[in-house]
Structure formats: C-alpha cells, structure tokens
C-alpha cells in the first residue's frame, strides 16, 4: 500500500510540474507576442509616419498635404509671412510657388472645428454624461 501511495504522490507531483511548465510556456509566449506586436507597431509608425505634428512656437506650419505618389507629396506650408507650395520627394524638396499668407487664413484656422472631436473632448463628454446628479 505505501508503494502505491508513493507512486500516486510522485505522479501528482510530476503532473503539477508539467502543468506549471505549460502555464509558464504559455505566459512567456504571450509576453513575447505582445513585445513583438509593440515593436511592429513602432516600426510601422516610423516607416509610414504618424503625420506631421505641429510644434508649439514654431515659425513653420503645415497647412495642407496631399500624396501624389508613393514617396511624393505636395505641401502647403506657412513660413514666417509667406505661404509656400512645395513638392517633396525622397531626394529633394522643390519650391513650386510662393505667395503672401491670406488675411482670412488665421481666422479660418481658429474658427474651424476638426471633423472629428479630439480625445479630450470625447473624454469630457463621457465624464459629464456619467456624472451622477446631486
């Protein structure tokens, strides 16, 4: 009887060890998959760009941009008191035309709302909607 109970205990111990190793393998694989996914997303953002983010206090402002090819685009840029239309390729940047910034350009930029609300506006609305009435 003691031999069979020792054998049962040994079998249970090895089963627990196997289950523990299987769980550790699953967790390790999941962690590696998540890290690989994050690295892939970072590479995609670097490769295809996340758009042009305006820099506060910068004298350069990108007004509009349109892709005309895989690596070519036409951009409208405000630089100091000039509005420039430039062609951008992988090898060079070419000035297409130059003019004065229209007087109503600042007014249009400050009065227009983005087509979709920003994250802060969505969060504010959500918090106001879920606020309990007192």
Where do the domains of the chain lie?
1-50, 53-105
| Residue that wins the pLDDT comparison between 26 and 55 | 26
Give 37-96 pLDDT, tens digit per residue: 999 998 888 777 655 555 556 678 888 888 888 889 999 998 888 899 999 999 999 999
Per-residue pLDDT band for 6 (boundaries 50, 70, 90) equals low
Give 103-119 pLDDT, tens digit per residue: 776 555 544 445 566 77
Q: What is the DSSP-derived secondary structure letter of residue 52?
A: P
pLDDT at 111: 45
- Global confidence as pTM: 0.40
Spell 99-108 as b/e; 16+ CB within 10 A means b: eebeeeeeee
């Amino acid at each position: 009887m003691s031999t069979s109970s020792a054998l049962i205990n040994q079998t249970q111990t090895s089963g627990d060890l196997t289950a523990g190793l299987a769980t550790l393998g699953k967790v390790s694989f999941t962690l590696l998959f998540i890290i690989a996914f994050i690295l892939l997303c970072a590479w995609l953002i670097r490769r295809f760009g996340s758009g042009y983010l305006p820099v506060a206090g910068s004298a350069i402002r990108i007004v509009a941009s349109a892709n005309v090819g895989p690596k070519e685009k036409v951009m409208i840029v405000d630089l100091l008191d000039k509005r420039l239309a430039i062609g951008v390729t992988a090898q060079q940047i070419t000035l297409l035309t130059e003019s004065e910034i229209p007087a109503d350009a600042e007014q249009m930029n400050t009065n227009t709302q983005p087509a979709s609300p920003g994250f802060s506006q969505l969060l504010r609305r959500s918090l106001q909607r879920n606020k309990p009435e007192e």
